[in-house]
Amino acid sequence: MSSSPAYNLLAETLERQGIQIETIKTYLKQQHIETPSWGYGNSGTRFGVFEQPGAARNAAERLEDAATVHKFTGVSPTVALHIPWDKTDDWGALKQYAADVGIGIGAINPNVFQDQEYKLGSVCNPHSDIRRMAIDHMLECVDIMEKTGSDLLSLWFADGTNFPGQANFRKRKQWMFNALSEVYDALPEATRMLIEYKFFEPAFYHTDLADWGTAYLMATKLGEKAQVLVDLGHHPQGVNIEFIVAYLIDEGKLGGFHFNCRKYADDDLTVGSINPQELFLIYTELVAAELDPDTETDIAYMIDQSHNLKPKVEASIQSVCNLQKAYAKALLVDRDALAEAQDAADIVEAESILQRANDTDVNPLLEQVRLEMGCDPHPLTAYRKSGYYEKISKTRVGGESQGWA
């Protein structure tokens, strides 16, 4: 297969630096970025739902869109489901349809925040019958995991309070653990529970799982099958997420990611759109663990974005491509030279090593990788030329929307 002059030049440069480009290409071809079903349907903000032409109206159409993203990127072979938004009467048929369109079913995400009963919380609700309702829904999702072949239960809770004195913190902590423990005990073999955290919103006084420490504590108390899920948008301004990533990896408790981006208080912007430097530094820590033979990792890389303004499939392709780029740059870091600079306390050189990798134009490398994988080297351009958006805009008219709609 012929390669471009830009790729050949980059390959020669890297080889002179002692970087094995074929090894890097192997890693890039094995990258796995799961997209969310809820990213393909009409979804809402706090103020309403903004409908788009061609938005998926049901679970099958969401699978079709996810399969399209995988077709053009080559690295998104699974889709996460949100229950009850993706609920069906025949999970076997949905699993088969996913296989028919060329994709698999990934993480199962219970919804314990939308129903009116959850106004005062779900598993931390002061009313025991509401707590039972939330637990039963999560147990239902465990059953769905078995029926779809999913090995991940991804949990996020909106539980918290808005006013001082509203609730007893310690009781709520105990209710949270008791609920998670019951669900944990029901998990099938070879599956995991990922516990997500968010420091505020919708609760403005306190949140029951407010940071990585509270999620880590719950995961540690529960056992090996429970780990922490890091959502890039769920942190206060200025938090060093790459440090959190490294810390959790070292504890064996980093289970997964929800990739997105934030500027102020929400988390649904395209990953890498605001602070690509941060994304690169996060991937630098991930790659360091991946390349370390003494470190075991099993990290689920998932996108969590609801595209209210951008066309949904295009935005998903754009997100995946940004993650490919960050991963490629992190793979170019000269790890031996970085370790030497760190041991010598050469701060300037250590920073420069990272910056040289981040400044590298990896587009020729990614284009070559895509060609070798049988994909178009320019995924977004190829998608726009495919006519898929025009087709779904004509055929997906009317019907019942999913999610917030």
Question: What is the length of the chain?
Answer: 405
- Which run of H or E residues covers position 220? helix 212-222
- Whether the CB-CB separation of 311 and 52 falls below 8 Å is answered with yes
Strands (DSSP E) contained in 112-205 are 152-155, 160-161, 192-196
Amino acid code (one letter) for 312: K
| pLDDT tens per residue across span 212-231 | 999 999 999 999 999 999 99
For 212, the enclosing helix (H) or strand (E) is helix 212-222
> For residue 298, what pLDDT is reported?
96
Does residue 105 register a pLDDT over 70? Answer: yes
3-state DSSP assignment of residue 195: strand
Domains and CATH numbers, the chain: 31-333 (3.20.20.150)
Quickly state the pLDDT bin for 384 (edges 50, 70, 90).
Answer: very high
Whole-number Å distance between alpha carbons of 167 and 159? 11
Is residue 403 very low, low, confident or very high in pLDDT (cuts 50, 70, 90)? low
Under 8 Å between Cβ of 372 and 302? no
CB-based contact 241:277 (threshold 8 Å): no
* Bridge partners for 301 per DSSP: 257
User: Token pair of 65, please?
Assistant: 């869109």
The CA distance from 304 to 245, in Å, is 17
Residues 184, 226 contacting (CB under 8 angstroms): yes
Q: What is the pLDDT of residue 404?
A: 56
- The 3-state DSSP class for residue 139 equals helix
Token pair belonging to 380: 């977004």
Q: What is the DSSP letter of 209?
A: T
d(CA 270, CA 279): 12
**Cβ contact 196:154 at 8 Å:** yes
Alpha helices in 17-113 (DSSP H): 21-29, 59-73, 91-100
Residue 101: pLDDT band (50, 70, 90) is very high
Mean predicted confidence (pLDDT) in 129-141:
98
Provide, rounded to the nearest whole percent, the portion of the chain with pLDDT above 70.
98
Torsions phi, psi for 206 (to 5 deg): -150, 155
The pLDDT assigned to 395 comes to: 95
Run of H or E residues at 339: helix 335-343
Check residue 119 and give its pLDDT: 96
Q: For residue range 336-347, what is the model confidence (pLDDT) as tens digits?
A: 999 999 999 999
For residue 17, name the pLDDT band (cuts at 50, 70, 90): confident
> What confidence score (pLDDT) does residue 400 get?
64
Averaged pLDDT for residues 178-201? 97
More confident residue, 205 or 398: 205
Are residues 142 and 188 in contact, defined by beta-carbon separation less than 8 angstroms? yes
Q: Is the pLDDT of residue 405 over 80?
A: no
Task: Find the mean pLDDT for residues 112-126.
Answer: 97
* Residue 184 identity: Y
- How far apart, in whole angstroms, are the C-alpha atoms of residue 330 and residue 280? 6
pTM: 0.96
Q: Is the pLDDT of residue 141 over 80?
A: yes
Q: How far apart are CA 183 and CA 205, in angstroms?
A: 27
